[in-house]
Amino acid sequence: MIWQSWSDFFTMGGYALYVWGSFVVVFGCMAGEVLLLKQRAKSIRTQLVSAHKARASDAPHTRSKQ
């Protein structure tokens, strides 16, 4: 398609609501996915740190006497 003006481009031949709405939904989903992945990574890091601390406190402390 060749548009005569920017206005024609943004109206997309009368289908602007569907075209731009689709872009908004896709980019919204992509942004949501990134945010959820960051939240999940933070949660996993927190769980790993607490598990490491719990394991370290449960392990018997042995020191060599000299």
Say yes or no to pLDDT of 19 above 90.
Answer: yes
* Residue pLDDT, tens place only, 22-42: 999 999 999 999 999 999 999
Domain limits, the chain: 21-55
Note the pTM of the prediction, 2 decimals. Answer: 0.67
**pLDDT, position 45:** 97
Burial 44-60 (b: 16+ CB within 10 A, else e): eeeeeeeeeeeeeeeee
Residue 39 and residue 34: Cα distance in Å, rounded?
A: 9
Per the model's pLDDT, the better-predicted residue between 54 and 25 turns out to be: 25
The reported pLDDT for the residue numbered 62 is 61
Mean pLDDT of the chain: 89
* Helical segments of 1-66, H only: 6-11, 16-58
